[in-house]
Chain A
Amino acid sequence: MVPVNPRDAVTEYDALDALVAEEAESKVRRAVDSLSPMQREVFTLRVEQGMSYRDIAEIVGSTEGAARVHYHNAMRAVKESVSE
């Protein structure tokens, strides 16, 4: 008899988790892709790189307030797209 490590066993729960995670990732990716170019650029710089609104405004050629508005609009659109 060979002892079986429970961590090596593939269960239905693990497979389902992988499918759910893959579906969730796909949803998020589609949500980001559906943003306008300006929203996507601001959102990416803010979330993935953690840049400040001031730096983002310099990069995209806009103002700090406008960059903040673009970010919040993008976040709202992503939330709605993921919750659908």
Chain B
Amino acid sequence: MNDCVNTDVRDALPDFVNNRLSEVDAATIKAHIESCVDCQVEVALLRDVRALQPIAPVMDVNRIAAALPAYRSVSTSASRNGSRKSWALAAAAAIVAIGGWAITTRSVSNESTPAVAVVAPADAPVTATASAKQTPTPMTPSKPSVTAAVKSGEMQVAALSLVGTTDDLSDADLETLVASLDGIDTVPSAEPASVTTTVDDIDGNDDH
């Protein structure tokens, strides 16, 4: 295949095939084509190319990659800030949880403390009371009181405490308190009855 020497006509052949020439130019080109074998071959080839089914464009990956902006890592500062924030939130949540647990535990312990107590008014005689049931009793902090917790049945003093001070007690109250404390018997006073048996009491010796 040879190329036509008339470059102007060759440049216009695609426009001629696509019907983009004016009537005058199209007539001129058409007249040339009828007398030029090389242009006839080229026009036939151009029509074959146009008749092809649309071809999927081939992507030039290198050109696309070159047009992309340079990669910049954003994970250095953003992720660090994000992790710091998450750690701060976790620490705050832990502090709140521990504080709440401590407050709850303290209030529960205050509520569950057995207050087997008898509040003794300042002008009333102070008595120590042994209580079988550990029922909470309202306390009057401003008044001195004596608390004694004793196990029921065995009548043993488990704990004896003096809540408050004795400064506010009068002499009569102190004497009553001491007398009450002395009255608590921590050691069984009654000796167990001795059991004595003789050989004659044993079964089988009825002959004697």
What residues of chain A have their CB less than 8 Å away from a CB belonging to chain B? 24-25, 28-29, 32-33, 37, 40, 43, 46-50, 53, 68, 71-72, 75-76, 78-80, 82-83
The docked-state distance in angstroms from the alpha carbon of A33 to that of B14 is 19
Q: For the complex formed, measure the closest distance between the CB of A43 and the CB atoms of chain B, giving whole angstroms.
A: 8
The count of residues in chain B whose C-beta lies closer than 8 Å to any C-beta of chain A is 22
Cβ-neighbour of B11 out of A28, A43, A47, A68 (below 8 A): A68
**Are A50 and B15 in touch, CB under 8 angstroms?**
yes
The residues in B between 1 and 51 inclusive whose CB is less than 8 angstroms from any CB of A are 1, 3, 10-11, 14-15, 17-18, 20, 41-42, 45-46, 48-51
Known: A47-B46, A47-B49, A75-B42. 14 other contacts (CB 8 A): A25-B51, A25-B52, A28-B49, A28-B52, A29-B52, A40-B58, A47-B17, A47-B50, A48-B50, A50-B15, A71-B14, A78-B49, A79-B1, A79-B45
Query: Chain A at the B interface: mostly helix, strand, loop or mixed?
Result: helix
**Interface CB pairs A-B, < 8 A, 15:** A25-B51, A29-B52, A32-B52, A40-B58, A47-B14, A47-B46, A47-B49, A47-B50, A48-B50, A53-B11, A68-B11, A71-B14, A75-B45, A79-B1, A79-B41
**Are B1 and A37 in touch, CB under 8 angstroms?**
no
Q: For the complex, is B111 an interface residue (Cβ under 8 Å from A)?
A: no
Whose C-beta in chain B lies nearest to the C-beta of A82? B45
Residues on the B chain within 8 Å of A75, using CB: 42, 45
Cβ-neighbour of A50 out of B18, B48, B63 (below 8 A): B18
Whose C-beta in chain B lies nearest to the C-beta of A48? B50
**Are A79 and B42 in touch, CB under 8 angstroms?**
yes
